Structures are given as C-alpha cells and as structure tokens.
Amino acid sequence: MNVPGSARARWLGAAALSASLVLTGCGATLAGHPVAGEAATVQAYVATGLNELLPAQAQFPEGYSVVVLPPEAAAQAAGDLNGITRGALVHPGDCAPPEQRFGPDQTAIAVGTEDRSRTTITVELARTGQPLSALREQLARCAEIHVGQAGAITTVVTRLEAAPPVGDDSIGLRRTVIPDLGGARLNQSMQTLLGQVGDVRITVTYMTFGVPDPDRAALERLFTATVERVRAR
C-alpha cells in the first residue's frame, strides 16, 4: 500500500498508540456471558442451513425493510460490520479478524434498513470452528486498531459490554469507525450483540452514522429471538 507522507506519519503515530493499548488492555475485565471450561474448538454442529435460520421480516423492528444478501454482497457487508474491509492492512497485525468463509451455508446476512433515520439492523450467521471466547480475548486486547486501504486510514475503537445470557456464550460491544477525513458525521457507530450455538455464530448489529442513538431494546429482542431460533434447530 502506498501511503502519502502525511498519512504515513499518522500511521506511524497510530502504530505506537495501538502498541501501547495492547499492553494496557491485557489486564482488562472481559464483559459478556462466559462459559467455564470452554474447549479450544467447537464440538457441536447445527445441521440446518444458515439461510433458513435468519429471522423473518416480522421479527425485525417495525419500520425496517429487510433483504437477504447474496454471498458477494454478504462478504462486503461483513467487513462493514467490523470496520475492516477485505484486503485492508490492520495494525496491530494480530488484531485482524480470522478468515471468514462466504458462500452457500457459510455466511448468511439479512439487513433491515430504516431510511428516515439512516439506521440499519443486520443479522449475520456464520459457521466457525472457534468458540466465542477466542473472539472475546482478541477484542479485549484490540480496543483500538488502525486500518489502511488505498492510502486511507481509519481508526476502529471497540469497547466490550454485557449481553443477554443466551446461547452457549454471548458478548456485547460498542464500535466506532472513524475515518481520517470527513468529520464526525461520517463516523460509523455500532452496537453489537454476539452469541454462539454450536458452530453457528450469531451477530446482530445496530448501525448509525454521526451521533449514536441505538435502540437497545429492539436490538436485544432481535438478538434473543435469533439465538433461540438457531438453538431450536
């Protein structure tokens, strides 16, 4: 990646700041719904296809128009949800998300959009061989990361929160994606709840731009309903 001089200086400064955050984050309290004695890999398998497990329009909050994304669009949307698009350079390097598979029965995404408020609620179901505890550990030490692509750098700030105790495990987080240029109105703010049932990871994200104003109650209702739908299969 070719980075202009001013951007390169910001990148280097960000790298030093991020390294400091890794050190200070190691002693942080981990929020969420942990399960004692978790295995290093997932042992259970959910046989039902992921598209069948996505919530229907009626389960989304009133006023949201819902579409199920095709695989290629799902791959792009997954990057929007964590602020790291495919092919981007992440610093620190060990804060990059694990490789995710897209295609039939690997990742399924439904997006609900409320045009008036420019908000979306996205439900992502993904097959994974890792327990949610592995992601919790990574997020705890990667509270602030820097993402570079095509000469642009963004800062992604993540804070762990509590989540409803459903599924095998669950965690919550708040995430802000801050571009170098554009001002606060272009900041992408997300409140996310994650759960897991066997090898299916459930991620429900409420996204706004500018000043965050998430509907926590609506988010929790959709998250809980989706986790229970996966568990019932």
Section 143-165 average pLDDT: 94
Section 90-117 average pLDDT: 91
- Residue 161 has φ and ψ, to the nearest 5°, of -135, 175
Residue 187 has pLDDT above 90, yes or no: no
Confidence label for 39 from pLDDT (cuts 50, 70 and 90): low
Section 51-72 average pLDDT: 94
Q: With H, G, I as helix, E, B as strand and everything else as coil, classify residue 75.
A: helix
pTM, entire model: 0.80
Contacts of 176 (CB under 8 A, 6+ apart): 156, 157, 187, 188, 189, 190, 212
Report, at the CATH architecture level, how domain 5-232 is classified: 3-Layer(aba) Sandwich (3.40)
CA angle 12, 13, 16 (to 5 degrees): 90
Section 123-148 average pLDDT: 95
3-state secondary structure 205-231: EEEEECCCCCCHHHHHHHHHHHHHHHH
Beta bridge partners of 127: 200
Q: Which pLDDT value is given to residue 184?
A: 62
Q: Which spans in 2-103 are helix H? A: 5-25, 50-53, 71-82
At 75, list the tokens. Answer: 């791959």
Q: From CA 1, how far away is CA 138, in angstroms rounded?
A: 25
Boundaries of every domain in the chain:
5-232
Q: Which pLDDT value is given to residue 185?
A: 64
